[in-house]
Amino acid sequence: MSATSVKKVVLAYSGGLDTSVILKWLEETYGCEIVTFTADIGQGEELEPARAKATAMGVKEIYIDDLKEEFVRDFVFPMFRANTLYEGEYLLGTSIARPLIAKRLIEIANETGADAISHGATGKGNDQVRFELGAYALKPGVKVIAPWREWDLTSRETLMAYAAKHAIPVDFAKAGKKSPYSMDANLLHISYEGGNLEDPWWEPEEEMWRWSVAPERAPDRPTYVEIAFERGDAVALDGERMTPAALLARLNAQGGANGVGRLDLVENRYVGMKSRGCYETPGGTILLKAHRAIESLTLDREVAHLKDELMPRYASLVYNGYWWSPERRMLQSMIDASQQHVNGVVRVKLYKGGVTVVGRKSDDSLFDASIATFEDDAGAYDQKDAEGFIKLNALRMRIAARRGR
């Protein structure tokens, strides 16, 4: 599909400098009609200015969608059923939002008859991969326009000059004050990259963090929270049933107030480079701990261990943009099947940056106190059974030892 054959493009639009320039650049370069799409996934920003800017730039079809509940229910929660961590630490807050945005871009393209989509991801990061893999999986013939891979606007200064030349409505006072970090936020997390963080030895200043107090400044008394689970998903806090988005927002506030959820990480990007980022994921940090606790009561040992073996592969699929792939869907089916009896309540203590599980209960518990007790078990377990079990498991090692191996 050539530039001249593109008639209408759906642009993932924030209203900021980059995407405002992209909007005008698409009109100039492709001579096409633009549809803007702005997603509210809990980033905490006022989104109506994006509508006003798009209107001022002549856009006729403007989508501003509240996707918070869908984001947590259909993306965050399924991922947490797998206890997902990328490279042992990262809770994938940015990664998990991209397949939802890609899905909505394609839905709007179908609704409006657009033949292309566009995004503002740079050519260095993971987001370009995540957006485009999702788009192609959902609409194989769609045209994807990634301006950062095409244009010659390679710096903030050239973007601002382009905006001034074309009278693009940008808050120049704000745009001219270079932010020290590149940030991305949604209901699951907020991330920080760039600036001084490009030195892996640099400790971020306290002023950088937005959602959490420093653990050493957190309250001197702990906060206790009871989290109820049904089929692996959190459904209530302290006995109050809540929607997925409301529940995560509440945990973010409680965790942040207690210094929970900070992470400083050097990660391996899919494109091949290492990247240093800092993250705040207070609610997600609590949920992960609590979910593993309720699974410890309700999951069979081998099922739990198999889930742990599959999790790194699942995490890589999410991180690298393969949410809509058949292999992720297959893994999800297995994970969801394991959650049928993951029901109950977990009590956690939040204190000075830590999350400690201090209680768990479930009607589906596999914990049998009469067997596990250190007291008299009244014949529930026969210790003599262990002798043959141990000898059989040692047989191969005994044979090898006799041969000096």
- Residues serving a catalytic function are 18, 98, 127, 182
Q: Which residues contact 298 (CB under 8 A, 6 or more apart)?
A: 341, 342, 343, 344, 362, 364, 365, 366
Backbone angle region of 355, left / alpha / beta, with phi > 0 → left and psi within -120 to 50 → alpha: beta
Q: Pick the closest to residue 127 from 399, 297, 350, 318 (CA basis).
A: 318
Q: What is the Cα 199 distance to its own chain's centre?
A: 24
Answer for the pair 350, 159: CB distance below 8 angstroms, yes or no: no
Answer for the pair 229, 345: CB distance below 8 angstroms, yes or no: yes
Rounded Cα–Cα distance for residues 121 and 140 (Å): 20
Rounded Cα–Cα distance for residues 10 and 113 (Å): 10
- Parallel, antiparallel or unpaired: strands 190-193 and 182-185: antiparallel
User: Cα angle at 41 between 40 and 45, to 5 degrees?
Assistant: 55
